[in-house]
């Protein structure tokens, strides 16, 4: 079985720059994440009563917890996104790095899809599915598999404490014995914010799947708690607050109508 558990560290670092109002902030925490090959989901669910792809269980893969057209399978929605962005439709397996709904709750700030080439050996594309807080919007970014460092424009207002006038710089590695993923916010050459994953692979077996349910039962709740805890700390530090662009646009339109 190619699916696996990964354990390690998440680290966020905000730099004291003009873009952050000279407010620096840093934290890290341990995490356990799943790397799930989408064509193995049914097999995995059959290993333990605690997992399901069809009905609520302690660990539940629910299609609508992830992005893309809900009328399509998750595999097909990712494949179509890659085809649209890169002009080539990879036929190899897709591995998803993230969390599943656990004890009824799920929030994935980032879900990463590794799309393999037709031979199933090399990475043809990496898809980053970003979800915002607190608006719960989603945006997918498709990266080429032959370039492990890429820069692209930010297109989703992810956090109220960072502006939109940024680019992302993403560096990734294959999900082998060690997995690394780094996403940095840049404004021109200004280094604004860095987020990174450093994880080591563990076997995904019936025993480790069941243990995950009881050893880390509130793992997905902890992700959301951590986001709001750090937001409160930034607010205490008087970090600048950036209104959602949709609200700014709406206010401008209303102001224009009033003047008219």
Query: What would the pLDDT profile of 85-127 be if each residue is shown by its tens digit?
Result: 999 999 999 999 999 999 999 999 999 999 999 999 999 999 9
Identify the pLDDT of residue 219: 81
In this structure, what token pair is assigned to residue 133? Answer: 């807080």
Query: What would the pLDDT profile of 144-174 be if each residue is shown by its tens digit?
Result: 999 999 999 999 999 999 999 999 999 999 9
The model carries a pTM of 0.94
In this structure, what token pair is assigned to residue 80? Answer: 């179509």
86 by Cβ neighbours in 10 Å (0-12 / 13-18 / 19+) ranks as middle
| Structural domain span for residue 88 | 4-259
Looking at the DSSP assignment, which residues form a beta bridge with residue 26? 13
Sign of CA dihedral 221, 222, 224, 228: positive
42: pLDDT confidence band, cut at 50, 70 and 90? very high
Give the torsion through C-alpha atoms of 176, 139, 39, 1, to 10 deg: 20
- Residue found by looking up tokens 């179509």 in the block: 80
Alpha carbon distances (Å) from 150 to 97, 123, 170, 180, 201: 19, 15, 5, 15, 25
Conformational region of residue 188, where left means phi above 0, alpha means psi within -120 to 50, and beta covers everything else: left
Identify the pLDDT of residue 248: 56
Looking at the DSSP assignment, which residues form a beta bridge with residue 180? 198
- The total of structural domains in the chain comes to 1
């Amino acid at each position: 079985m190619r699916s696996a558990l990964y354990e390690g560290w998440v680290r966020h670092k905000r730099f004291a720059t003009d873009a952050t109002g000279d407010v620096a902030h840093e934290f890290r925490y341990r995490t356990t994440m799943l790397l799930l090959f989408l064509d193995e989901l049914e097999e995995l669910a059959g290993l333990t009563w605690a997992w399901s792809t069809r009905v609520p269980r302690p660990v539940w893969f629910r299609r609508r917890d992830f992005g893309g057209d809900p009328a399509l399978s998750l595999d097909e929605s990712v494949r179509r996104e890659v085809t649209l962005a890169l002009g080539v439709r990879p036929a190899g397996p897709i591995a998803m790095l993230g969390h599943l709904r656990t004890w009824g709750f799920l929030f994935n700030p980032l879900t990463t899809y590794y799309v393999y080439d037709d031979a199933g050996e090399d990475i043809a594309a990496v898809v980053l599915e970003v979800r915002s807080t607190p608006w719960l919007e989603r945006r997918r970014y498709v990266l080429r598999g032959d370039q492990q460092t890429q820069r692209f424009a930010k297109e989703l207002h992810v956090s109220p404490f960072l502006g939109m006038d940024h680019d992302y710089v993403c560096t990734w590695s294959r999900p082998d014995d060690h997995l690394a993923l780094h996403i940095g916010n840049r404004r021109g050459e200004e280094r604004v914010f860095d987020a990174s994953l450093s994880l080591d692979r563990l076997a995904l077996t019936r025993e480790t799947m069941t243990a995950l349910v009881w050893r880390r039962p509130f793992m997905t709740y902890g992700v959301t708690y951590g986001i709001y805890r750090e937001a409160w700390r930034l607010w205490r530090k008087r970090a600048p607050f950036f209104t959602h662009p949709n609200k700014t646009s709406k206010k401008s339109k209303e102001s224009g109508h009033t003047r008219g």
